[in-house]
A and B are shown apart, each in its own frame.
Chain A
Amino acid sequence: MSLLSWYVACIQALLILGLAPLLIGWVRRVRAFLQNRRGAPVFQPYLDLYKLMLKETRVGHTASPLFRAAPYAIFVSTWLAAATVPLIALDLPTAWIADIIALVGLLALGRFFLALAGMDVGTAFGGMGASREMLVSALAEPAMLMAIFTLAMTAHSTNLVSVMESHLADGFILRPSYLFAFFALILVALAECGRIPIDNPTTHLELTMIHEAMLLEYTGHHLALMELAAWIKLLLYGVLLANVFLPWGVGQGLDPLTLGRGLGILILKLAILGVALAVGETVLAKMRLFRVPLFLNLAFLLALLGLLSHVILEVGS
């Protein structure tokens, strides 16, 4: 762990902040195109953030201090979680601070505060959002950890850098377990990021909201932080899918050329994922809440089959 790699880690952390709004803008843009709308420019989310930062922040009379602290806690824990995923360079010292289980834990920490913040003002919608969010996450988390375990048991490590390194060292291998885990993680990502078919990020239709219901009372810079945290989470799952399962292209050195190439390939991968997400959101309809367990059961089944096919098919004793 040289000093240079710490610098690169800082650059990657800042890059996350820069890329997250871009990804969401891109997804929205593609979606608008697919739905024959003109849509906002790709850079609109940056402007949204700027606008929210300038606006006055209001807090309900009934809110406790936790309400004001929560946006910071949510933002920081999500950001820190994202900062442990190798983005453009493989040699990432922050990955040693928190391995992939700790990453899931950090995301859970953010979610805990998000749900509490939803309940804090004492409105009906906030409680509804919190209750549903905890249900979805309770079902998604085991699927996510099983998918991760598949990776970890193949690489004999829970450290993302080691996982990717061992994957790169193996070269291209058709692993049924990785295929299953990949699809399981896609389903989990859809659920955790509140995308269609689990939750509609653009809705304010009261009875179908999950994520939005918890943000209802937030305004101004609080809302800006919460929104940015949600976008970072989307980016985080995108990078997990793109870089951990297909680690080719992530820079293995620290020279500017490698990093630049890593960035280019990463943006390309994310653009493709964004298009896939937009297509999916255009084609699929939102599920009603009590279909969500079936959806996440499928994710869990996929993850479990990934693990079993690893144990049964890929290793022998």
Chain B
Amino acid sequence: MSLSLVLIAIALALLSSALSLGAGREVRIVRLVATPLIGLSGLLACTAGLGILATGNSLETVLPLGLPWLPWHVRLDALSGFFLILLGLVTAAVGLYGSSYIRDLEHGRDSIAALGVFTGLFLAGMELVLIAADAFVFMVAWELMSLASYFLVAFHHEHAANRRAAFLYLLIAHLGGLAILLSFGVLAAFGAGFGFESMRAAPLSSTWASVVFILAFIGFGAKAGLVPLHAWLPQAHPVAPSHISALLSAVMLKVAVYGFIRVVLDLMGEVQWQWGVAMLVVGGASALVGVLFALVQTDLKRLLAYSSVENLGVIFIALGLAVLFLSTGHPLHGALALGAGLYHALNHALFKGLLFLGAGAILHSAHERDLEQMGGLLRRMPWTGSLFLVGSLSISALPPFNGFVSEWLIFQSALQSWQIDSGVLRSLIPIAAAVLALTGALVAATFVKVYGVAFLGQARSRHVRRAREVTPAMQISQGILAALCILLGVLPTAMIELIDQVSAQVLHLGLLQTSAGGWLWLTPISPDAASYSAPLTLVLLVSLMAGIVWWLRHRIPRRIRRCDPWDCGFAPPSPRMQYSATGFAQPVRRVFAFFFDSEEARLDPLEPAPRYRLRLDEPSWRLFYRPLAQATYTAARWIVRLQSGNLRIYLGWTLGTLLILLWIVS
């Protein structure tokens, strides 16, 4: 039942794609039929996921597709179900939002039909990845997802920068795809078969297991945008249309997380502690680099994309903790860390989707992505502004919103490191937690900057001053995600019971204590060790606030008078006197100067119009990509010597290769 729902969802996504293809000149079809179909497909996927998590069993079938000796196996289990819920919730909101959003694009130069076609294919690819049960289907769906998203990134292809971003994305996606393919290759060789079932039974030596892990980590890490393979992400995600950016950041990165969990925790099972350390290091670096670069951005969508790097880093820290606990024989705490990571994945999907939709709303109504031009939008777009505030509070991990719950769970599992025997791991894990704490505080700074500069203060440009509230459909779709953020923040126990099914399936045990104290209390280890009651926190916050407002009204009735701002008695403030986004980030940029390749040039202040220029580059280009490109180039130059142009030499190489192959085979 659930599985056929997913198949229907995939069919709907493909139908949406086909309809867009056939739309031709009637571009309204894309807006009125194809995009809502996307939302419907998401809704079905979500329902299927909920269904499978509620029952807790797994369903599989064989599709009459593919090669004759290699039919397509699909399987829906708890892990797929969880990620289908994540995908479905965001996609449903995006479908609702997109049909209003692309109205603006209809008058542009870019082909709406192409947008519809590739959105459908992209969604179908992601859904198929989640239910694939053999390496063949997985890779086909994975490449479908990658290629379709390439065309979506290249949607506004008239700008050379966008084409370059799309190409970089395609390049890294394919290198990653290659690594994934190789990791499946090793698993298939030992397990004698492409099906996940036979891979699970593969007897791997610890060296080969590490090889599989490294390949999978590179492949899925590249897709998830982990440092140092993250360079494509902040370039590719912002240039797509905003609802697609939401899908890319909120969902596609999570599909990479899904793939990683599937291969490392499900297919391999036996984990080694060195992997956990590697994940902690890479995750910590991604979190820190991501948030620092997010903080200094002035392009809102690029800022959100960097923040995705950060959040994926946090998810991998949690997964790394899970691997460490599992490898040192504490499966219960491993399950807790895995649950925390999954919870954060879901949370990130919701609030990052919400924030990208909010950024899209600003883009839609003010035609502006640059923070330096924004300001005062809360009064012009009150609904978008309030919902964006919810997103900002959630992503900054503040109670009682959902980001806090997952961060709290990660801290709790990190604090269980005293149980590990090895002293080195015991001292390394808290350092990872400290990185997480630093990251959390910097995220708060980032979103204070975003919200303060974009929504508060006064408008910094004319077109932003003219911004108006977006259509109800766009408001509602943001509202859905915001409501889910609050719901998951306030009632975490319900969600954790669903996640429990995943760890029950992957690790064969659940979190015993999490809701020991009832739905009101979150007690992951034991009620004595740690407890957090989100509902009570919310109730206390709201009731105290209401009480104080009431008390003040009742006791000292008064009017509030409007006046000019004081600002220490200087001239009445003009919009140009406000702190800019660059200025806000300057102290942090200076303190963490080590992480930036910056070039700052101030012209003579005595000039009539002095200008300040700042260029920020990522050291990863200097330290990683350029040397890599250089090495590739050198290797190519060496290999090109074979290309002498003499036919007999080519034949000689072929003969030599043939002889070597025959020797290997014999």
A residues whose Cβ falls under 8 Å from a Cβ of B: 53-54, 56-66, 68, 72-73, 75-77, 79-80, 96-99, 101-102, 105-106, 108-109, 111-112, 115-116, 118-128, 130-132, 134-135, 137-142, 145-146, 149, 152-153, 156-159, 162, 204, 206, 216-217, 220-221, 225, 289-290, 293, 300, 304, 307-308, 311-312, 315, 317
Q: Which residues of B contact A53 (CB under 8 A)?
A: 556
B contact patch SS? helix
| Cβ-defined partner of B415 (8 Å) among A105, A138, A149 | A149
Bound state CA distance, A87 and B568, in angstroms? 39
Bound state CA distance, A82 and B14, in angstroms? 55
Q: Which residues of A contact B567 (CB under 8 A)?
A: 121, 123-126, 216-217
Bound state CA distance, A298 and B413, in angstroms? 27
Q: Which residues of A contact B532 (CB under 8 A)?
A: 97-99, 101-102
Known contacts A53-B556, A158-B529, A308-B427; A153 and B565 CB within 8 A of each other? no
Known contacts A68-B560, A290-B591, A307-B427; A217 and B444 CB within 8 A of each other? no
Quick check: B398 and A119 within 8 Å, CB to CB? no
Known contacts A112-B396, A112-B398, A138-B438; A156 and B565 CB within 8 A of each other? no
Known contacts A119-B456, A123-B578, A149-B415; A221 and B556 CB within 8 A of each other? yes
- If A132-B587, A138-B438, A221-B558 are given as contacts, then 9 extra A-B residue pairs at C-beta distance below 8 Å, sorted by A number, are A64-B378, A112-B393, A119-B452, A119-B579, A122-B376, A135-B591, A137-B444, A290-B591, A317-B421
Does B300 have its Cβ within 8 Å of any Cβ on chain A?
no
Quick check: B562 and A153 within 8 Å, CB to CB? no
| Cβ-defined partner of A127 (8 Å) among B393, B560, B583 | B583
Bound state CA distance, A135 and B449, in angstroms? 11
Quick check: A115 and B452 within 8 Å, CB to CB? yes
Q: Which residues of A contact B453 (CB under 8 A)?
A: 119
| Cβ-defined partner of B457 (8 Å) among A98, A119, A293, A311 | A119
Partner-binding segment picked from B504-512, B545-553, B642-650: B545-553
Closest to A131 in B: B584
CB distance from B351 to the nearest CB of A (A): 14
Q: Which residues of A contact B527 (CB under 8 A)?
A: 96
Instruction: From B433, B455, B579, name the one whose CB has the most chain A CB atoms within 10 angstroms.
Output: B579
B563-621 interface (Cβ within 8 A of A): 563-568, 570, 573, 575, 577-579, 583-588, 590-591
Partner-binding segment picked from B316-324, B490-498, B533-541: B533-541
Bound state CA distance, A146 and B431, in angstroms? 8
Does B36 have its Cβ within 8 Å of any Cβ on chain A?
no
CB distance from A212 to the nearest CB of B (A): 10
Quick check: A142 and B529 within 8 Å, CB to CB? no
Quick check: B579 and A61 within 8 Å, CB to CB? no
The list of the 9 closest CB pairs from A to B, nearest first, reads A127-B579, A119-B452, A122-B457, A134-B445, A60-B565, A141-B441, A138-B441, A123-B567, A142-B437
Quick check: A115 and B396 within 8 Å, CB to CB? no
Q: Interface extent on B, as a size class?
A: 35 or more
Quick check: A60 and B564 within 8 Å, CB to CB? yes
Q: Which residues of B contact A149 (CB under 8 A)?
A: 415, 430, 433
Bound state CA distance, A111 and B448, in angstroms? 10
Does B521 have its Cβ within 8 Å of any Cβ on chain A?
yes
Bound state CA distance, A77 and B567, in angstroms? 27
Bound state CA distance, A204 and B566, in angstroms? 13
Closest to A134 in B: B445
| Cβ-defined partner of B427 (8 Å) among A116, A145, A158, A312 | A312
Quick check: B438 and A130 within 8 Å, CB to CB? no
Quick check: B577 and A62 within 8 Å, CB to CB? no
Bound state CA distance, A88 and B180, in angstroms? 59
Quick check: A159 and B587 within 8 Å, CB to CB? no
Does B146 have its Cβ within 8 Å of any Cβ on chain A?
no
Bound state CA distance, A118 and B447, in angstroms? 14
Quick check: A56 and B397 within 8 Å, CB to CB? no
Partner-binding segment picked from B273-281, B361-369, B404-412: B404-412
Bound state CA distance, A137 and B437, in angstroms? 11
Does B379 have its Cβ within 8 Å of any Cβ on chain A?
yes
Known contacts A66-B378, A98-B533; A72 and B549 CB within 8 A of each other? yes
Quick check: B588 and A97 within 8 Å, CB to CB? no
Bound state CA distance, A131 and B582, in angstroms? 10
| Cβ-defined partner of A102 (8 Å) among B408, B427, B562 | B408
Does B531 have its Cβ within 8 Å of any Cβ on chain A?
yes
A-B pairs with beta carbons under 8 Å apart, 19 shown: A57-B561, A59-B560, A61-B562, A62-B457, A80-B544, A115-B448, A119-B448, A120-B452, A121-B457, A125-B567, A138-B445, A139-B438, A141-B441, A142-B434, A204-B568, A221-B552, A289-B587, A307-B427, A311-B423
Q: Which residues of B contact A119 (CB under 8 A)?
A: 448, 452-453, 456-457, 578-579
Does B426 have its Cβ within 8 Å of any Cβ on chain A?
yes
Task: Encode contact with A along B429-467: 1 for CB under 8 Å, 0 otherwise.
Answer: 011011101101110110111011101111000000000
Bound state CA distance, A188 and B411, in angstroms? 20
Does B375 have its Cβ within 8 Å of any Cβ on chain A?
yes
Quick check: A72 and B563 within 8 Å, CB to CB? no
Q: Which residues of B contact A63 (CB under 8 A)?
A: 565
Q: Which residues of A contact B421 (CB under 8 A)?
A: 317
Does B104 have its Cβ within 8 Å of any Cβ on chain A?
no
Q: Which residues of B contact A62 (CB under 8 A)?
A: 376, 457-458, 565, 573
Quick check: A124 and B578 within 8 Å, CB to CB? yes
| Cβ-defined partner of B588 (8 Å) among A54, A138, A141 | A138
Quick check: B531 and A61 within 8 Å, CB to CB? no
Q: Which residues of B contact A158 (CB under 8 A)?
A: 411-412, 415, 529-530
| Cβ-defined partner of B548 (8 Å) among A72, A145, A159, A300 | A72
Quick check: B457 and A156 within 8 Å, CB to CB? no
Quick check: A159 and B544 within 8 Å, CB to CB? no
Known contacts A60-B563, A80-B544, A138-B438; A131 and B579 CB within 8 A of each other? yes
Quick check: B434 and A131 within 8 Å, CB to CB? no
Q: Which residues of B contact A142 (CB under 8 A)?
A: 434-435, 437-438, 441
Bound state CA distance, A220 and B561, in angstroms? 11
Quick check: A111 and B444 within 8 Å, CB to CB? yes
CB distance from B195 to the nearest CB of A (A): 42
Bound state CA distance, A236 and B417, in angstroms? 28
Closest to A166 in B: B528
Closest to A144 in B: B437
Q: Which residues of B contact A225 (CB under 8 A)?
A: 548
CB distance from B557 to the nearest CB of A (A): 11
Q: Which residues of B contact A156 (CB under 8 A)?
A: 418, 529
Quick check: B573 and A141 within 8 Å, CB to CB? no
Q: Which residues of B contact A58 (CB under 8 A)?
A: 560-563
Quick check: B540 and A97 within 8 Å, CB to CB? yes
Known contacts A138-B442, A304-B434; A122 and B573 CB within 8 A of each other? yes
Q: Which residues of A contact B375 (CB under 8 A)?
A: 122
Instruction: From B396, B447, B457, B533, name the one whose CB has the most chain A CB atoms within 10 angstroms.
Output: B457
Quick check: B563 and A59 within 8 Å, CB to CB? yes
Closest to B543 in A: A76
Q: Which residues of B contact A157 (CB under 8 A)?
A: 528-530
Q: Which residues of A contact B457 (CB under 8 A)?
A: 62, 119-122, 127
